Every structure is written in C-alpha cells, then in structure tokens.
Amino acid sequence: MNAAIEKGFEFSDRDFRFIRTMVSEKTGIELAEHKKNMVYSRLVRRIRTLNIGGFREYCEILSSDSSGSELINFVNAITTNVTRFFREEHHFHYLRDVVVKELTEQKPEKIRIWSAGCSVGMEAYSIAMTMLSAMPELAYKDFKILATDIDTEVLGKGAAATYPSEVLKDIPQEYHRKYLETSDDGETVTVTDELRKFVTFKRMNFLDHWPVKGQFQVIFCRNVVIYFNKEVQRAIFDKFADRMVDNGCLCIGHSENLFNVSTRFRSVGTTIYRKIA
C-alpha cells in the first residue's frame, strides 16, 4: 500500500512531478525522485492547515496563487534548514587566525560579511562572536553582517535570536556570558542586543534579482548550492565573486567544491577559497 495513502492523503506521481517542477522554477532546487516521502511529510502540514482535500487541490492552489502568499509558505515548507552554532569549526578558526589578522593590518573603512543561506541565524551569530572576540575594535567600526535566506520563517527566528539552551554545548564557553542571556527558567538563551545589532536579516532567492550592494570581505555559503544544478551553481559563484573584494574569503559546505564550477577562486584550505584578483 502507498505510504502516503496510509498517512491519510494520496500523493500521486503526477502531483510529485508538479511539485518538483514548481520547486525547480521558484528556487532552483532540484529534488531527486527518492525525495517523494520527504516532500509529503513537509507539505502535508500545509494541506491540514488549509483544511483542503489533498495534494491535487494543493497543486491547484499553487498554480493559481496570483498573490504569491501560498508560494512563500510552500518554499518555507520545502527548504531544508539544518544548522547549529559553530558548525564546521575550522571556518571560524580561519576567520579568527587569518582573516582578522589581515583586516587588522589593512584597516578597511568598512567590513562586510555575508551569511548566505543563514537559516535561523546560528551561522551569522557564530561569525559575529568570532569576529568581535578576536577584534574588539569592530564594535566601534563600520562592521555589518548580512544574513539572507529564502525561508521567511527561519529569518524571523534568526531576528528573534532565542534558542533552546541545548545550543550552549556548541558555543565556546568564553562566549556564554559575553554574548548570551539565559532565561529565568534556563530553557532558552538569547543573543545579546550588543551582538545582534551587527546582523541584518533579509529574504533573498538566488534565482531572483540580488539586492546586495557593496563589497564583502567574507562570504559564507555552506550546504546551499548542493541542491542546485551546475548551471545555477556557476551563476551563483560568479555573482559572489562580483560582490567580493580582491582576495576575499569564501567558505562553502563540507560536501561542496568549486571544481568545474568556478575559476574565480583558489583553494586555501578545506572548503575555504579566496577570490582571484
């Protein structure tokens, strides 16, 4: 028996093909055939919330959604948001030990870092903690971190900056009191206002116009492009290069590389690249 029928709604191959096409057109993400059960589990919540008959009706809603309101909910439901503080720790060591030293010597007027695909903000705040701890004078300089994602729900969580207290295990001890406030019941921690003021959250779809100006010294784009085809990946990394200073630092995900994707960066370490001047 079809697993989807057992769960309460029929999810036909036709419905799945429609959704795969919609996801590709709206986000650039290519869903594999074996992702059918995953798609079911994520979208069935929307079907129940809307109180409609099933996936066929939901596909009809998406195809006639002139306002785009349900498309936003659709994208939010489909996109994956797996993250944690200081994930792939070597990137933050490189920031602290190499990038900060360079910036201290160069003394640029503006320091800009971009967390692309920021999810609930843990990456952006990890960057902020690392930079401000290693370079305290940034608190008095023109220093900003841009955090973007396609998912409006995770952006809201990132702006709120409140997380379960379990995240403390991933954050270096020396940052706990300096950058985090624990709730009275000990269940949650919130990033301090002093740190949050350096991070700006904005919605951005890589397939749409890029409303990103200025030149970035560092860009984090980790475990995002693996969902895109090679053509889209090439376009993304080309646009990143256009928005980076010469020798700017790019950090990508552990399962990603730029081989046959971009010639505008040189490798300087595990999943760490520098823009070629």
Q: Give pLDDT tens digits for 171-182.
A: 999 999 999 999
Q: Which domain holds residue 115?
A: 90-275
108 & 142 share domain:
yes
| pLDDT value of position 7 | 54
| pLDDT value of position 94 | 98
53 & 100 share domain:
no
CATH of the domain at 67: 1.10.155.10
144 & 252 share domain:
yes
177 & 111 share domain:
yes
What are the residue numbers of the active site?
42, 149
- Rounded to an integer, what distance in angstroms lies between the CA atom of residue 8 and that of residue 196? 43
| pLDDT value of position 6 | 42
| pLDDT value of position 79 | 78
- Residue that the structure tokens 């749409």 belong to: 208
Of residues 11, 234, 220, the one with CA closest to residue 121: 220
Contact between 155 and 203 (Cβ < 8 Å): yes
| pLDDT value of position 246 | 96
Q: What is the DSSP letter of 254?
A: T
* Cα 199 → chain centroid: 14
Looking at 19, 47, 78, which one is the last position of a domain? Answer: 78
98 & 223 share domain:
yes
Relative orientation angle of helices 13-27 and 36-50, to the nearest 10 degrees? 90
| pLDDT value of position 3 | 43
| pLDDT value of position 201 | 97
Token pair belonging to 79: 């996109």
11 & 124 share domain:
no
pLDDT digits (tens, 9 = 90+) for 237-273: 999 999 999 999 999 998 888 998 999 999 999 999 9
Which amino acid does the sequence have at 92? F
Q: Which residues of the chain have pLDDT under 50?
A: 1-6
- Residues in contact with 45: Cβ distance below 8 Å, sequence separation at least 6, in sequence order: 77
∠ at Cα 132 (126, 138), nearest 5°?
135
| pLDDT value of position 29 | 82
Looking at 54, 78, 102, which one is the last position of a domain? Answer: 78
Residue 192 lies in a domain: yes
CATH of the domain at 266: 3.40.50.150
- Rounded to an integer, what distance in angstroms lies between the CA atom of residue 134 and that of residue 95? 9
Token pair belonging to 5: 């029928």
| pLDDT value of position 277 | 65
